[in-house]
Structure 1
Amino acid sequence: MKKFLFLSVLLIISTSCQNPDNSENTEIMPVATSDSEIPELLPLVEGKTVKNIIFLIGDGTGLAQITSGQYALVGPDGLLHMQTMPVTGFVKTHSSDNLITDSASGATAYSCGLKTYNGAIAVNPDKEACKTILELAEEMGLSTGLIATSSITHATPASFASHVESRSMEEEIAVQLLNSGAEVMLGGGFEFFSSQYRSDSLDLITQAEEAGYQLLRNKEELDNSEAEMLLGLFANDGLERAETEPSTSAMTTKALDILSRNEDGFFLMIEGSQIDWGGHGNNTDYVLNEVEDFDAAVKTALDFARQDGETLVVLTADHETGGMTLQRQRAEGDSLEIYWTTGYHTGIPVPLMAYGPQATEFMGWRDNTYVGKRMAELLNLGSLPQMK
């Protein structure tokens, strides 16, 4: 006799979600009228191999975050730069122990090609370290980089270049980042490297400089740097959007300038970290500002890839945050109601987009582990997962 396992799912429908007159958790978002030229839809790139990969992660970014960014920034008839990518799919995001993933397990699925528990940084469910795509790239002679608007020790960037049981171990993550071999690391997180703030008083700043990194603390130093190894720590923790801090696009430009010097290729991960933070706070303005910053970095990446011809750009998210919905247009037609259903992550699948050689490998419905595995294969780094 065949035995079947049935999963019982309890669906709880909030009456407030069904009532458009309910103002709780609702924000009003102005809708833009764009007079600017709509970006050109990018073509498929045929018949070329992948030399470089730029992997963009909009933390907490679902279809609602992208669409609200489009409406507010360029209008209903406009396009964000990420919307010009010719290949689109979806990513299933569950972790090994929960249908709702966190950023650590979500990023580990991309970096190692395996499912793990929430909070795990590049370790499997048995807490054994897995080799990451960044580490494999370094072993094969490629250059690598990490960019984030959070601390560089935060869950997503950490999952590409360190291995710890819990994402909260940021001081240990900082130590491992310096030993990862990554040529470029740009974001926040000064407090996790400075003896002034660390609980063990370890001076990782001096260690980084002795290892060949130039320490950068503001956008002027980034712009003027001619070094080939960079550690940019532009805030104590996450970036605060101060005038002295570089944009994600500026960090991307500098990273691409350095990494593209390697004739063997490169792997670069760029995270729009704080889109997620805006979602956690149910703060539409915060989300829109971060989507705008992230999309400018997407443009920088796509412009590079179009000129280079051998660069694959893959864009996705680790999960959606906030249960953001576009609820109702106001009668005037110049604003839209945004409704938030939660202050945490959701299990909604997230968009997957690609441009460049082999971009069609990222169409359809995919598991998050597939994305990491396929990127490693396209860079000829071997098969994931691999254990250290």
Structure 2
Amino acid sequence: MMLKRLSLLVFLLAIGLNIFAQDAYMDAQAEDVEKTYVGGEKYEVKTYPHTFKTKKPKNIIFLIGDGMGVSQVFAGLTANHGRLFLDNFKHVGFSQTQSTSDFITDSAAGGTALSTGVRTYNGAIAVDTEKKPIKTILEKAEEKGLATGLVSTSTITHATPASFIAHQPNRNMYEEIAADFLKTDIDVFIGGGKAHFTQRKDGRNLVEEFKQKGYQFEEDIENIKKVKKGKLVGLIEEGDAGRLEHRKDMLPVSTETAINILSNNKKGFFLMVEGSQIDWGGHAGSTIYIVEDMLDFDKVVGKALDFASKNRETLVVVTADHETGGMAITGGDFETGMVKADYPLGGHTAVMVPVFAYGPGAEEFGGIMKNTDVNKKMEKLLLNK
């Protein structure tokens, strides 16, 4: 009897770890030493022309810095000695991030507002307040014959990427979210979370099902970056992609790969890329973590601008789902790149977050707007909604 109870306890613990390990970052806490980023070598930032072919875009690259408020942007700016690729954006606005259930949104409701143009309750994945599915911009782009893609440094089933492709009443339904990917014709998705596709309670191996649909499957970033066409499933970790020292240039490389694949479609494409772990640094109260991931995300902005400036038919929109940590910059040095900050709390805040736009239609994104307006402006420009 004792052995049976012990086995049951181990089983329940395993289930609990599978459900909650993906959100362990929310309980992380930084040592005081991590409140200061001491500085480092800067990377070069290009300046891009603002000459475009048309007034409306053929493609949209939508970049979400999860948890990225103005302080996070300025921390990155300081750390890179006064320059970011974000400097190239002439059209800047602010997004109000509230959900229907809370003054302070979570990533699920925040992502859903950006993906659907509809506000919902915290925890909802592209469903409304009555838990009915809402069609996303990615799904609408597919219906128009456009290519589509998702890239993230979290598991690809995490709240933000999930809100563009899945429809579930609870963000923690990771296996159900993974199964929803097969209900679409998405062309490429790259991130962590392989376990939710292959180590499932229902016994399904979704990777094999994707292969049967003609998708290429890769687990190594070196192999992922070699893919130039076709459909691609890239799952680089069983769980999340890890911190920068572990994943290295995974996010910029994956973004460039996705753009290469999607740009083969003559009708155009929609790509969402999430820099997930800016948020996690905010939860931990770690300036080092935030700066590392803010600079990594800015390099992704550079990859998007490299393509958009040459293509001249691509709108690049950069924003956040919310701010995390209430980051207050208390010191810095443009010469050394040092940034010092403090954090009044370890959760999300209600403040407005920045919206940056470059390309055809960028002028639509100035001023103060709701998070739902970001979606509506993109759909109007890309899909004639």
Which bin holds the TM-score, normalised by the shorter protein?
0.7 to 0.9
Instruction: Kindly indicate whether residue 229 of structure 2 is the aligned counterpart of residue 190 of structure 1.
Output: no
Deviations 1:88-128 (A, max 9, x none): 11000000111100000001101110110000000011111
Superposed structure 1 runs of 4+ greater than 6 Å apart: 23-26
Residue in structure 1 matched with residue 255 of structure 2 by the alignment: 252
Residue 129 of structure 1 aligns to a residue whose secondary structure is: coil
2:62 corresponds to 1:59: no
Match of 1:161, SS state, is coil
Q: Given residue 323 of structure 1, which amino acid in structure 2 is its aligned partner?
A: G
Q: Is the 8 A contact 1:239 1:245 kept in 2?
A: no
Change (3 A) 1:47 1:182: closer
Alignment correspondent of 1:92: 96
Q: Where does structure 1 lack aligned partners over 5 or more consecutive residues? A: 1-22, 383-388
| Contact preservation (8 Å) 1:27, 1:339 | yes
CA RMSD of aligned residues (A): 2.2
Q: Please give the alpha-carbon distance, in whole angstroms, between the structure 2 residues aligned to 1:244 and 1:345.
A: 25
Q: Look up the SS of the partner of 1:174 in the other structure.
A: helix
Note the alpha carbon deviations across 1:350-371, whole angstroms, 9 max, x for none. Answer: 0000000010000100100001
Q: Which residue of 1 aligns with 2:201?
A: 199
Q: Does structure 1 residue 69 correspond to structure 2 residue 71?
A: no
Larger deviation, residues 224-233 vs 296-305: 224-233
Structure 1 match to 2:24: none
Q: Which runs of 5+ in 2 are unaligned?
A: 1-30
> Are the equivalent residues in 2 in contact too, given 1:220–1:244 (CA < 8 A)?
no
Q: 1:372 to 1:308 in 2, by over 3 A?
A: same
- Residue 37 of structure 1 deviates from its aligned partner by 5.6
TM-score, length basis structure 1: 0.86
AA of the residue aligned to 2:164: F
State the alpha-carbon separation in 2 of the partners of residues 120 and 56 from structure 1: 21
Aligned counterparts, 1:1-388, within 5 A:
27-31=35-39, 39-40=46-47, 42-43=49-50, 45=52, 47-72=54-79, 74-75=80-81, 78-194=82-198, 197-240=199-242, 241=244, 247-328=250-331, 335-382=338-385
Alpha carbons 1:25, 1:339 under 8 Å: kept: no
Aligned residues of 2:94 and 2:367 also touching (Cα < 8 A): yes
TM-aligned CA distance change 1:218 to 1:245, over 3 Å: farther
Q: Amino acid of the residue matched to residue 360 of structure 1?
A: E
CA separation in 2, counterparts of 1:127 and 1:340?
34
- For the Cα contact (< 8 Å) 1:90–1:364, is it kept in 2? yes
The C-alpha deviation readout for 1:23-45, integer Å capped at 9, x for no partner, is 979822325686x7653265364
Query: Cα distance, 1:336 vs. partner?
Result: 4.2
1:217–1:147 distance in 2 versus 1, CA, 3 Å: same
Moved more, 167-176 or 372-381: 372-381
Contact map agreement 1:91 1:352 (CA 8 A) in 2: yes
Q: TM-score, normalised by structure 2?
A: 0.87
SS of 2:368's partner is: strand
Deviation at 1:224, TM superposition (A): 2.6
Preserved CA contact (<8 Å) 2:48 2:309: no
Mapped contact 1:41–1:86 kept (Cα < 8 A): no
SS in 2 for 1:40: coil
What does residue 15 of structure 1 align with?
none
Q: What displacement does 1:220 show? A: 1.7
Q: Check conservation: 2:315, 2:361, Cα contact below 8 A.
A: yes
SS class of match (1:262): coil
- Please give the secondary structure, in 2, of the residue aligned with 1:160: coil
